Structure 1
Amino acid sequence: MTRTRGLLITAAIPVLLLGACARPGTAADAGAPAAGEPITESATADPDSVALRVEYRGGFVPPQYLLGRLPVVTVYADGRVITDGPVPLIAPGPALPNLQVQQITPERVRKLTADAVAAGVKTGTDFGSPGVADIPSTRITVATGYGTETAEAIALNEAQADDPALTSAQKTARAKLKKFVEQLTALDDATEPYRPAEVAALARAYVATGDGLEGKPVDWPGPALPGDALDKDLDIRCVSVTGAEKDKVWAAAEKANQQTPWVSGGKQWSVLFRPLLPDESGCESLRSAG
């Protein structure tokens, strides 16, 4: 049996939606698309630029998971789609997430971004606040030819259809957005494991759970833990690794689980492994997560 992390769910072809002159509908371009429709052509796109991303924010989860949480799905300018895939339903779970990557066409990237805007991914769209607590919000970001649009809906999957805290317009907007996210996360192209160029390790002092599931301590094969402070208030620290050092850490993590004690500097550490995505670099890129 498997479960999906979160609440679910390479050729460089320049397609990102960055090239734009006047805003749609201005006199500068009589043939411009209608307001709200993304401009979808550019000859200067960075293949690692994010065209579309769905991620969870907030919620009542341990702070290290807030900082290390992976996006549900990211669509890049060159057509790579990286998703957080299913993992075995065992306790403790694997140390590494099951990231998957697939390749879609430039035409499909353009259609997905246009579909996102049509589904309400526009900065300022009102999705209301349902009467539920401690549930993450779903944030969708889409790059268009005239800027980045972001929409965020609290408890998109959990709110009841008849929630009295929501207006009729908000319920309609949420239903449209939810349908789009479900379609996006159900992309069925062939996938393969994603192997990152860099991995971040979020470290805290190890505390035994007392449930009998703790594994045998393992010598840490990377740079000394715990690393630099990622969140001083929560005492979560981070190191990142690349190249041959990353390969050693990855190989060791493949044999470990989420409760494995890692030994570095004569102390034991709990480590959350966070593969960095193509648009991310170093621990600093995780600082704004949550």
Structure 2
Amino acid sequence: MIMATVLMSAGALTACGGTDDAKAPAKTVSPTPAASAPASTGAATSPPTDPGPLASGRLLLRWRMTGGFAGVGNPGSLPEFSLYGDGRAVAAGKNGGKPMEYRLKPDALARLMNEAKAAGLDHSQTIGPENIADAMILQITMGDAKTRVIQPESQSTPITQFWKKLEPAAWPKTDQAAPARTYEPAKVALLAGQTGGTEGENTRPFTLVPLGRGEQASGGMCTVVSGDKAKEALKLSSAAKPTTQWRNEGKVYSLRFRPLLPDEKTCADVAVS
């Protein structure tokens, strides 16, 4: 697969950054020789030992990429991949595209989670040297376990082999319960930053909500909108240009439109994901 890093500003939905602290004590693991994750077959496997999450919309797996010379993974950006217990997977759009939603059949979901556990993602760990400046860092969350892989493209471990399977666009159609579709969020976070500049030809009025009255999060003032306002925010995002600025209550702002994922409800959720 491979990774999708999409920035979303006034004209596009973004993909990026997050946190990597583990609740459980992390251990450092040296890279191992090339290994393959358990092969995926068409036959159903037994479900994970805890079937509860699979019967809900709870977050099961998430990965994102951070670091690098270009500073991938800005605060408040969309993770590259999120998988939920009802089989939904949301993948960030590529090359400025919109996020896409996929849905796995129950047996395919159980098989994937079994492979994640077999790869070692059910316990926190760090793989690779931590003294590399501007290193790319793959962060994978599975429940409370958080795994960090430094320079993942240069590693060959069961975890990196499994990670390459988390590309929904390449999943077999026989594993999918429905065709892929554009992700339609119930809520959208508006991340505004006052520019301090004057209005120009790319300045547009913004009347949905007062941008300067939100809460501080992800490097800007954050306001969450839902319902019709969320739909209108997405329309404005699609129609805007990357250079668009927004006039609101007599001030000029830059604005990022961040769709909230199914497990996210507030600006605080956006700040940590």
Q: CA RMSD in A?
A: 3.0
- Is the CA contact (8 Å cut-off) linking 1:52 and 1:75 kept in structure 2? yes
Query: How far 1:260 moved relative to its partner?
Result: 1.0
The structure number with the bigger radius of gyration is 1
Alignment match, 1:139: 139
Measure the CA separation in 1 of the matches of 2:158 and 2:48. 22
Q: Distance in 2 between matches of 1:152 and 1:215?
A: 44
Cα pair distance change 1:221/1:62, threshold 3 Å: farther
Residue 260 of structure 2 aligns with an amino acid whose one-letter code is L
Structure 1 distance, partners of 2:53, 2:124, is 28
Deviation digits for residues 246-286 of structure 1 (CA, Å, limit 9, x no counterpart): 12211111101232101111111111111000000021112
Q: Secondary structure at the match of 1:183?
A: coil
Q: 1:128 to 1:70 in 2, by over 3 A?
A: same
Q: 2:211 pairs with 202, 225, 237, which one?
A: 225
**Partner residue, 2:121:** 121
Contact 2:89–2:102 under 8 Å retained in 1? yes
Aligned to 2:268: 284
- Call closer, same or farther: CA 1:38–1:152 in 2, change over 3 Å: farther
Whether 1:187 and 2:183 are equivalent positions in the alignment is no
For the residue of structure 2 that corresponds to 1:111, the secondary structure is helix
2:263 is aligned with 1:271: no
Unaligned 5+ runs, structure 1: 10-36, 89-96, 160-170, 209-213
2:19 maps to: none
- The answer as to whether partners of 2:6 and 2:93 remain within 8 angstroms in 1 is no
**Which residue is equivalent to 2:148?**
152
Q: CA deviation at 1:40?
A: 3.9
Quick check: 1:240 aligned with 2:236?
Answer: no
Distance 1:215 1:55 in 2: 36
Aligned to 2:92: 84
Separation of aligned partners in 2, 1:46 and 1:284: 26
Q: Report the more deviating stretch, 264-273 or 45-54.
A: 45-54
SS at match of 1:287: helix
Deviation above 3 Å: which 4+ runs of structure 1?
Answer: 37-41, 43-46, 57-63
2:128 and 2:151 in contact (8 A); partners too: no
Structure 1 residue 59 displacement after superposition: 5.0
Unaligned runs of 5+ in 2: 8-14, 16-45, 174-178
Shift of residue 85 of structure 1?
2.1
8 Å contact 1:79–1:106 — kept in the other structure? yes
- Contact 1:200–1:274 (Cα < 8 Å) also in 2: yes
| Equivalent pair of 1:258/1:272 in contact (CA under 8 Å) | no
Using the size of structure 1 for normalisation, the TM-score is 0.67
